[in-house]
Amino acid sequence: MMTLLHLVLGDQLSHSLSALRDAKPQGSVVLMAEVMAEASYVSHHKKKIAFLFSAMRHFAEELRGRGFSVRYVRLNDPGNSQSLFGEVERALADTGASGVVVTEPGEYRLMDEMRGWQARLGVPVEIRDDDRFLISRAGFGRWADRRRELRMEYFYRDMRRHFSVLMRDGEPEGGQWNFDKENRKSPPKGLKGPRRLSWRHDAITRDVLDLVEARFSDHFGQLRPFHFAVTAEQAEAEFEQFVTEILPSFGDWQDAMVAGEPYLFHSMIAVYLNAGLLLPLDVIRRAERAYHEGVAPLNAVEGFIRQILGWREYVRGVYWRFMPDYAGRNAFGAHRPLPALYWSGNTKMRCMASAVRDTIEHAYSHHIQRLMVTGNFALIAGLSVDEVCEWYLAVYADAYEWVELPNTLGMALHADGGLMASKPYAASGKYIDRMSNFCGGCSYDIKDSTGGNACPFNSLYWRFIAVNEDKLRGNHRMANILAGWRRMNEGKQTALLNRADDCLALLEKDAL
Ligand code: DLZ
Ligand code: SF4
């Protein structure tokens, strides 16, 4: 009988995976491999590697439990070639399999490589669509072909209609597509998120933690304490806790930031969704049910669903439509080297220190910290687009390039020149002050823009506007801001630019 090799990548841990569709207990070998090439193409956070290796090993056990023959290569196994291609080649030689089946990888670099595998291996390599996503790459392409501008909002409405999610008689539930006006509340004093589930380490996770400690000690981030779910069952239990206890408050405090509260009311499921332990349509339907059962209000449920049915699918579509060119875009010509504080968290800016330290500890920070603190700072300080993108890809447990690149390069840095967002998300410290409790305890003075102790965000914001005036002029959504800069008296302008230059000089000395 002909044997086929079914390759399952580390972020493809779903039993419904297209590569496994026709895998059979006899006549199929499922290949999974821990390899240095994937584990070190960026300095992935230790927790990200530990999560993925443990989840991969658990998934392999589940497959074995279902009767499959699984060839699982551990990082330290003798003979491990340390690349996916090498492991496929070795498995073909050892098993005599006559072909390879794989689900398309999430990253362009690997897809590009895989397109050459058939010729290099001399056996058929079938690359199947990843139908865990709700729209295929081709389907998104057809949607985009009909548009002059690719705005997420219209894509999202089409997805709502297509999947009939939160719809009533052809109209959006509640008469509006979007309730974000209700989702921007400032945090009241003492706002605290609920306690999260945490999981005991079994023998598999203990082995993986030891392995990561031994082999990746030079990688970014803290390995312990480690409390991610590592199976679909555990991930589902976390999500169920989110739906019943946390989702009701998610909308209201979606954009709030509180020192010492990295999670607040966020779902924390991106890490599981992006590795395949949870499936998008399941979580969307579960959240929709919570609304219909009166468990959570519409503003929360709609906002949550939009992230998954709209945003997540949209960024993936943008990524595949515009790669590889997309990765090279740098609309503002931003090239300043990434400062050390992004790795250390050592800075007097309390908002930045808090976002980076959360990231070191948890391989997580929430979307407003990513967009409006570390992302906004990178934008207004003109940090290197490549280095910032690599940082986000490395440090977050949920990050794969298909989701990271559009979010960082497009959304946060506006380096795609406005393909995704109609205006740059540049903001002064005032935004951070309104949405957080950071500024009160900060060494810098949020009310000051030009003095020796002024909040760096304030002057860097105006410097960003001034330096990029020509590029921003064509954008009508920036007209008021540009007019504000031009109206400012020259003395104030000079003082702002001087303070911004001082901040950049301090940044270079790792002293900001
Ligand atoms: C991220 C990652 C890591 C750290 N390690 C592995 C690995 O050892 N083996 C593997 O199959 N996949 C790994 N991955 C996930 C891949 O990098 C991911 O499949 C590609 O980036 C495509 O999204
Ligand atoms: Fe951040 Fe400025 Fe507020 Fe300090 S004062 S926390 S640097 S926004």
Cβ–ligand 1 distance for 397 under 6 Å, the answer no
Band (232; pLDDT cuts 50, 70, 90):
very high
Most confident of 23-32, 192-201, 459-468: 459-468
Q: Quick one: pLDDT at residue 1?
A: 62
- Say what percent of the chain tops pLDDT 90: 91
Q: Please report the pLDDT score of residue 426 as a whole number.
A: 96
> pLDDT-derived band of residue 248, with 50, 70 and 90 as boundaries?
confident
**Pocket of ligand 2 contains residue 455 by CB under 6 Å:** yes
Which of residues 254 and 446 earns the better pLDDT score?
446
Residue 379 tokens read as 């934008």
Name the burial class of residue 212, with classes exposed (0-12), middle (13-18) and buried (19+) by CB atoms within 10 angstroms of its CB.
buried
Atom of ligand 1 nearest to the CA of 44: 4
Q: Best mutation site among 38, 59, 108, 114 for ligand 1, i.e. most ligand atoms within 8 A of its Cβ?
A: 38
**CATH code, 137-197+232-322:** 1.25.40.80
Give the pair of three-digit tokens for residue 375.
């992302």
Output the pLDDT for position 179: 87
**Pairing mode of beta strands 99-103, 4-7:** parallel
Least confident range from 251-255, 368-372, 498-502: namely: 251-255
Burial of 203 (0-12, 13-18, 19+ CB in 10 A): exposed
pLDDT at 261: 86
Bridge partners, 436 (sequence order): 257
In this structure, the dihedral spanned by the alpha carbons of residues 85, 86, 88 and 89, taken in order and rounded to 10 degrees, is: 120
Average pLDDT estimate for 167-173:
96
Most ligand 2 atoms within 8 A of CB, residue of 438, 449, 460 to mutate: 438
The reply to whether CATH 3.40.50.620 applies to domain 4-128 is yes
Residues near 368 by beta carbon (within 8 Å), at least 6 away in sequence = 254, 255, 256, 257, 435
Sequence ranges of the domains in the chain: 4-128, 137-197+232-322, 341-508
Does the C-beta of 371 come closer than 6 Å to ligand 1? Answer: no
371 C-alpha to ligand 2 centroid (Å): 15
How does pLDDT run across 111-123, given as a tens digit for each residue? 999 999 999 999 9
- Mean pLDDT over all residues of the chain? 96
pLDDT at 358: 96
Mutational test site, ligand 1, from 9, 49, 277, 320, max ligand atoms within 8 Å of CB: 9
User: Of all helices (H) and strands (E), which one includes residue 5?
Assistant: strand 4-7
Given a cut of 80, whether residue 183 has pLDDT beyond it is: no
438 lines ligand 2 (CB under 6 A): yes
CA of 458, closest atom in ligand 2: 2
pLDDT in tens, 13-57: 999 999 999 999 888 999 999 999 999 999 999 999 999 999 999
pLDDT at residue 38, rounded to an integer: 98
Cα 305 to averaged position of ligand 1 atoms, centre (Å): 27
Residue of the CA atom closest to atom 23 of ligand 1 = 106
- Residue 380 Cα to ligand 1 middle (Å): 32
CATH 1.10.579.10 fits 341-508, yes or no: yes
Confidence of residue 484 (pLDDT cuts 50, 70, 90): very high
Does ligand 1 have an atom closer than 6 angstroms to the CB of 9?
yes
The one-letter amino acid at 421: A
Quick: pLDDT tens for 152-161.
999 999 999 9
CA dihedral 298, 403, 272, 185 (to 10 degrees): -30
pLDDT (0 to 100) of residue 376: 98
Ligand 2 pocket, residue 296 CB under 6 Å: no
Instruction: Considering every ligand atom shown, identify the ligand nearest to the alpha carbon of residue 448 and give its number.
Output: 2
Rounded to the nearest whole angstrom, what is the distance from the C-alpha of residue 438 to the centroid of ligand 2? 6
442 lines ligand 2 (CB under 6 A): yes
Q: Name the band, by pLDDT with cuts 50, 70 and 90, for residue 319.
A: very high
Considering only CA atoms, which of 388, 352, 129, 196 is closest in space to residue 259? Answer: 352
Mean pLDDT of 151-175: 96
The predicted structure's pLDDT at residue 188: 86
Which residue has the CA at smallest separation from atom 5 of ligand 1?
39
- Between 249 and 325, the more confident residue is 325
Query: What pLDDT was estimated at residue 180?
Result: 79
**What is the pLDDT at residue 396?**
98
pLDDT at 245 (0 to 100): 94
Q: Is 446 in the pocket of ligand 2 (CB under 6 A)?
A: yes
pLDDT in tens, 53-73: 999 999 999 999 999 999 999
Mean pLDDT computed over 157-179: 96
